[in-house]
Every structure is written in structure tokens, then in C-alpha cells.
Amino acid sequence: MRMCTPIRGLLMALAVMFGTAMAFAPIPRITWEHREVHLVQFHEPDIYNYSALLLSEDK
């Protein structure tokens, strides 16, 4: 039983440190304003699946 005490203490210390690190971690944003990012909008005629543009050799 004496072997469990150091391991338990180590696990508890790691849990406290991990919890503290998570408390100060930045919170990811799930929304953004259109003016906050510089996106380029484009449209190709007769293209409805834009991943097909990645396969196109002439673009």
C-alpha cells in the first residue's frame, strides 16, 4: 500500500497543474465578424463544387 501513496500524490499534483493551465488557456472563438478576416470571395461559372477547382489542371 505504501507504493500507492506517492503515485496518488503525483497524480493529484498533475491534475492540479493541468487544471491551473487550463484555467489560463485562451478560449477558442466560435464566431467571427466578416470584417475581422480578409477573405477573398470568388465565383466560377458552372462550378458548384469548388473542391473540383483543386483538381483542375488549367486553373
Cα–Cα distance measured from residue 2 to residue 7, given in angstroms and rounded to the nearest whole number: 9
Task: Give the model confidence (pLDDT) of 36-57 as tens digits.
Answer: 777 777 777 887 776 766 665 6
**For the chain, percent of residues with pLDDT exceeding 90:** 0
Residue 10 has pLDDT above 80, yes or no: yes
Q: What was the pLDDT predicted at 57? A: 60
Distance CA 7, CA 10 (A): 5
Separation between Cα atoms, residue 29 and residue 15, nearest integer Å: 25
- Taking alpha carbons only, the member of 27, 26, 4, 23 closest to residue 15 is 23
